[in-house]
């Protein structure tokens, strides 16, 4: 192993509730071998004593990250990198931070792994229309004689968004005999083709795919993008999967369509608001499956993000290029 020339001072700031999951003992031990790690703080404790940033060169974080505003940065003249064991860095970055030219690492690729796994499972279940058929069996108390389903052979699967997670889902789907379509205005057709994906418009995506899975970030142009008109164009027995952001779906216009189309199935791992209001029809519609962010990293899965941060810290102290630094002009495109 290359000998470390300098041991930077590092501080971990994140919520206590998930800290041990994200940074378990083995990960902290690896970090401590690379840096002088101070006692961890929460965002609230750091706000009370921002002078704790004095001398800190590496800020480690995760859920509950502090906002990197002018006040915090004013107490951190030595800060030279921020490593975040979470996906989006939008909530914590500010113009003042970007102006400092400090690299910031996101563990989005690590968090993408369980989301893509969850999505793949739901896509395959959707192609077999497992949820719809199981509903009908309960209602009729009888098995259908010859279920007609799309199946995973020459069926179309649609992805709304080909970012970190959408691209990983597309990669997984290459192992199946399905045609993958995607809609993403910022992805080049050649880049999509490398993933085995053909880019199409929203209308074709929803009208021709047996399963449509949402992976778009929540931006002004994507808020309410998936509306009742699009969902109403989905084919008989189609499945909609949302593991992105709840507000990407215009629920007031989609809910009536789901009520009128019992053949459709909506797998909603995210909603808006979240959780749904107590009187929301989402709780009672039989063709809606609600899950509370099960797709994202949970429990031991969260350590994958801490491990990514530890690897990036090693590259940093060895003077090697970071692999997961977020480009300033791309940060707004993350979920």
Q: What is the 3-state secondary structure (H, E, C) of 39-65?
A: CCECHHHHHHCHHHHCCCCEEEECCCC
Predicted confidence at residue 88, as pLDDT, reads 85
- Say if residue 335's pLDDT is above 60: no
> How does pLDDT run across 221-233, given as a tens digit for each residue?
999 999 999 999 9
Give just the sign of the alpha carbon dihedral 166, 171, 175, 181: positive
Q: Which residues contact 287 (CB under 8 A, 6 or more apart)?
A: 131, 132, 135, 258, 261, 262, 263, 264, 265, 266
Q: Compute, in degrees rounded to 10, the torsion defined by CA atoms 248, 334, 108, 180.
A: 60
Listed residue (293, 302, 211, 298) closest to 246, CA to CA: 293
Given this model, what pLDDT does residue 1 score?
44
Q: Residue with structure tokens 């990197």?
A: 68
**Angle of helix 164-173 versus helix 108-127 axis, rounded to 10:** 50
Average pLDDT value over all residues in the chain: 95
The confidence score (pLDDT) of residue 5 equals 63
Residue 4: the pLDDT is: 59
Rg (CA), the chain: 22
| Interacting residues of 78 by C-beta distance below 8 A, sequence separation 6+ | 9, 54, 55, 56, 57
Per residue in 254-283, pLDDT (tens digit) is: 999 999 999 999 999 999 999 999 999 999
- Cα separation of 123 and 243, whole Å? 12
The label of the residue with tokens 């006692």 reads 39
Evaluate if residue 83 carries a pLDDT over 50: yes
| pTM flag (> 0.85) | yes
Q: Cis peptide before 273, with omega less than 30 degrees from 0?
A: yes
In whole angstroms, give the CA distance from residue 149 to residue 75. Answer: 60
237 has pLDDT over 50: yes
pLDDT in tens, 290-325: 999 999 999 999 999 999 999 999 999 999 999 999
What's the confidence (pLDDT) of residue 265?
98
Give the H/E segment covering residue 127: helix 108-127
Per-residue pLDDT at 3:
54
Which residue segments constitute the domains of the chain, with CATH numbers given?
9-102+299-333 (3.40.50.720), 112-290 (3.40.50.720)
């Amino acid at each position: 192993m290359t000998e470390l020339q300098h041991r930077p001072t590092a501080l971990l700031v994140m919520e206590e509730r998930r800290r041990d999951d994200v940074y378990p003992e083995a990960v902290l031990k690896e970090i401590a071998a690379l840096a002088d790690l101070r006692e961890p703080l929460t965002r609230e404790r750091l706000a009370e004593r921002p002078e704790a940033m004095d001398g800190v060169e590496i800020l480690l974080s995760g859920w509950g990250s502090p906002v990197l505003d002018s006040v915090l940065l004013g107490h951190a003249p030595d800060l030279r990198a921020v490593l975040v064991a979470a996906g989006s860095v939008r909530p914590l970055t500010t113009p003042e931070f970007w102006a400092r030219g400090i690299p910031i690492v996101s563990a989005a690729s690590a968090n993408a792994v369980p989301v893509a796994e969850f999505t793949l499972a739901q896509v395959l279940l959707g192609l077999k229309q497992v949820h719809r058929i199981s509903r009908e069996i309960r209602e009729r108390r009888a098995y259908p004689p010859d279920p007609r389903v799309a199946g995973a052979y020459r069926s179309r699967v649609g992805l709304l968004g080909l970012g970190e997670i959408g691209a990983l889902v597309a990669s997984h789907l290459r192992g199946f005999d399905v045609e993958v379509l995607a809609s993403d205005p910022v992805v080049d057709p050649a880049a999509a083709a490398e993933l085995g994906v053909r880019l199409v418009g929203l209308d074709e995506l929803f009208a021709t795919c047996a399963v449509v899975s949402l992976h778009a970030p929540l931006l002004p142009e994507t808020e309410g993008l998936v509306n009742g008109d699009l969902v109403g164009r989905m084919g008989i027995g189609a499945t909609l999967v949302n593991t992105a952001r709840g507000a990407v779906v215009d629920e007031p216009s989609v809910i009536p369509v789901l009520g009128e189309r019992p053949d459709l199935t909506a797998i909603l791992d995210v909603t808006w608001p979240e959780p749904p209001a107590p009187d929301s029809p989402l709780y009672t519609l039989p063709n809606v499956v609600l899950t509370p962010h099960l797709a994202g990293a949970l429990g031991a899965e969260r350590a994958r993000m801490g491990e990514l941060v530890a690897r990036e810290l090693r590259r940093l102290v060895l003077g090697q290029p970071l692999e997961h630094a977020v480009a300033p002009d791309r940060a707004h495109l993350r979920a």
